[in-house]
Structure 1
Amino acid sequence: MTSTQTGAVSGSETSRIHNIGYRSYDGPRLGRGYARRSLYSQSLRGSFGLGRSAKSKVLPMLLFGVMCVVAAIIVAVSISIPGSTALQIKYTSYAIYMQAVIGLFIASQAPQSVSRDLRFRSVSLYFSRPIEHVDYVIAKLAAMASALLILTGAPLVILYAGALLGKFDFVEQTKGFGQGMVSVALLSVLFAGLGLVMAALTPRRGFGVAAVIAVLTISYGAVSTVQAIAWQTGAEGAVEWLGLFSPITLISGVQAAFLGASSPFPGGAIPGAGTGAVYLIVVLALVAGSYAVLMRRYRRVGL
């Protein structure tokens, strides 16, 4: 069987060999830094549903709206009370009171950030570009922490702006606002690390959501219950140490010890500097451990 000059194979009028015209790319190569920034930007936008379908925007935007509207209501109530000289809530307490909303946000968006890449095996496509495992992990961690900081920091800005408009003491409000921002920054990094670890353990989004809720929300209820039992049975010394076993109580202990926050523990016990240092060390260890687990996970996926 011989080929004709037109490229058709003898005996078949429909078979042809075409020159598709692939050419090598000779333009600028932007490298790992650009790829890392692009992945961070895309992941951050995706956390709020930007660049995705309208359905994907509903829940994150609704949760963000709830966080901001509640802060605005607190400002309105505080200003309307005759003789009021301060907000009705501390800056450091806001995220603790709104933990259910924050937990729902991270539970819904952490699996969206990493589980889909695992489920549809698109991770290998990332690593086929000039991007390493460390770039992927850092970009995802930074994007999720930034999304949480926006979620938790925006209401504090509303509280602070409202306090200044209400002519509350500038120095006191500025100090409280700064303490609150430090607190939510620490919370954002911790929750981002733990949330992504739970979500990356399985490609199934539903399992990831359940795992995140269990670690961030259910653990708080369990620890608070055990703390209350310990206080009622006279084991007051165990109350502070039990707080090490829940992400929310960890943040509460750190800010109560170092950021002037009210104690969330039964009996109102405020952790001392030594206990607070232990809390802070555990928080930093969990953040570092989350990074290490994610690196190990994606090294295995890369194989």
Structure 2
Amino acid sequence: MAVEHPPAAPSTPGDQTRIHNIGYRSYDGPRLGRGYARRSLYSQSLRGAYGLGRSAKSKVLPMLLFAVMCVPAAIMVAVAVATKAHELPLSYTRYAIVMQAVISLYVASQAPQSVSRDLRFKTVPLYFSRPIETADYVQAKFAALASAMFILTGAPLLVMYIGSLLAKMGFAHQTKEFAQGLVAVALLSLLFAGIGLVIAAVTPRRGFGIAAVIAVMTISYGAVTTLQAIAYNQGGSSSAVPWIGLFSPVTLIDGVQSAFLGGTSASPGGVGPSSGQGVVYVLVTLALIAAAYGLLMRRYKKVGL
């Protein structure tokens, strides 16, 4: 008996459905590895610290703060050249201390931008799914923000140095002071970047991170300078002024440069640390930088799980 088969379904006009078995092919290209991934993350984070590669709105604040840092230096240079002065009105080591409010605002705005978004959108585990480890992520972020801050604080010093040479000030003297100023802002950049990133890495909310960094920087500086002023006005307690300066990032850097980098202390009465106290300042600064790195490593080992 013949078996009848159901009629085949008519093909729909325009139906070009095809199944292609192309198989899986292994990747034969170069494997760039962890070093390339770390450098790429560093470059992307550094660019992001100035809004490069992001929206125009993201460029406004960092570029504005960069201009605010450089304009006073340019004005000082113009005055020095016009008046044929023999010395700049403000030393290289004092410039960052005077502009510390702008620097604090910059790190408060850019530290959360660097790490808070990764936490908020839970993209950190995606980084670690590639050939990159916790140390690579932390090192790239830390180095990027420190580099961005070094550009922010070093650029006005470069403007002052070029201006001093144009005003025909002593080349050897200006070069020495310029180098001392660069060492000071390099330490400041590492310290501020570490503190800012540790605070920002605690919360995925960028607004909370900004407020927390500003509070830590501002309150610590205000409290320390107030206590220093009280101790100095007490007369017999003026010896306590340098020790009080250990409890604020700004006064800590000020003490290091006044002890070893030829700077003058911004503390009340210009009471800076002695050489022995200066060693303590350096050790505390380095310990805080190392502690910031350690805390970031501990934080991201948990986040990457």
Q: Same fold (TM over 0.5)?
A: yes
Using the alignment, how far apart are the partners of 2:248 and 2:82 within structure 1?
A: 37
Using the alignment, how far apart are the partners of 1:173 and 1:255 within structure 2?
A: 16
1:285 and 2:294 matched = no
SS at match of 1:114: helix
1:33 and 2:11 matched = no
Using the alignment, how far apart are the partners of 2:269 and 2:115 within structure 1?
A: 41
Match of 2:278 in 1: 276
Amino acid of the structure 2 residue aligned with 1:203: P
After the TM superposition, which of the residue ranges 86-95 and 233-242 deviates more from structure 2? 233-242
Deviation of 1:78 (Å) = 2.0
Q: How many residues align?
A: 290
Gaps of 5+ in 1: 1-5, 9-13
Deviation of 1:81 (Å) = 2.8
Deviation of 1:27 (Å) = 1.6
Q: Tell me the TM-score normalised to structure 2 length.
A: 0.91
After the TM superposition, which of the residue ranges 41-50 and 262-271 deviates more from structure 2? 262-271
Match of 2:12 in 1: none
After the TM superposition, which of the residue ranges 265-274 and 162-171 deviates more from structure 2? 265-274
Return closer, same or farther for 1:19/1:198 CA change in 2, 3 Å cut-off: farther
Match of 2:3 in 1: none
Return closer, same or farther for 1:20/1:264 CA change in 2, 3 Å cut-off: farther
Amino acid of the structure 2 residue aligned with 1:31: G
Return closer, same or farther for 1:19/1:276 CA change in 2, 3 Å cut-off: farther
Using the alignment, how far apart are the partners of 1:269 and 1:158 within structure 2?
A: 29
Using the alignment, how far apart are the partners of 1:123 and 1:20 within structure 2?
A: 35
Match of 2:65 in 1: 63
Match of 2:228 in 1: 227
Using the alignment, how far apart are the partners of 2:189 and 2:301 within structure 1?
A: 25
Using the alignment, how far apart are the partners of 2:268 and 2:153 within structure 1?
A: 25
SS at match of 1:45: helix
1:136 and 2:159 matched = no
Superposition misfits of 4+ residues, deviation over 3 angstroms:
16-24
Q: Tell me the TM-score normalised to structure 1 length.
A: 0.92
Match of 1:109 in 2: 110
SS at match of 2:54: coil
Using the alignment, how far apart are the partners of 1:188 and 1:94 within structure 2?
A: 14
Match of 1:49 in 2: 51
Match of 2:239 in 1: 237
Query: Map of 1:245-284 to 2, 5 A cutoff?
Result: 245-284=247-286
Using the alignment, how far apart are the partners of 2:18 and 2:245 within structure 1?
A: 70
Amino acid of the structure 2 residue aligned with 1:185: A
Using the alignment, how far apart are the partners of 2:26 and 2:62 within structure 1?
A: 42
Using the alignment, how far apart are the partners of 2:100 and 2:219 within structure 1?
A: 11
Using the alignment, how far apart are the partners of 2:26 and 2:203 within structure 1?
A: 38
After superposition, the CA RMSD in angstroms is 1.8
Return closer, same or farther for 1:17/1:290 CA change in 2, 3 Å cut-off: farther
Match of 2:122 in 1: 121
Using the alignment, how far apart are the partners of 2:205 and 2:18 within structure 1?
A: 43
Using the alignment, how far apart are the partners of 2:146 and 2:167 within structure 1?
A: 31
Deviation of 1:180 (Å) = 0.3
SS at match of 2:156: helix
SS at match of 2:86: coil
SS at match of 1:192: helix
Amino acid of the structure 2 residue aligned with 1:141: F
SS at match of 2:253: helix
Return closer, same or farther for 1:20/1:209 CA change in 2, 3 Å cut-off: farther
Using the alignment, how far apart are the partners of 1:164 and 1:226 within structure 2?
A: 40
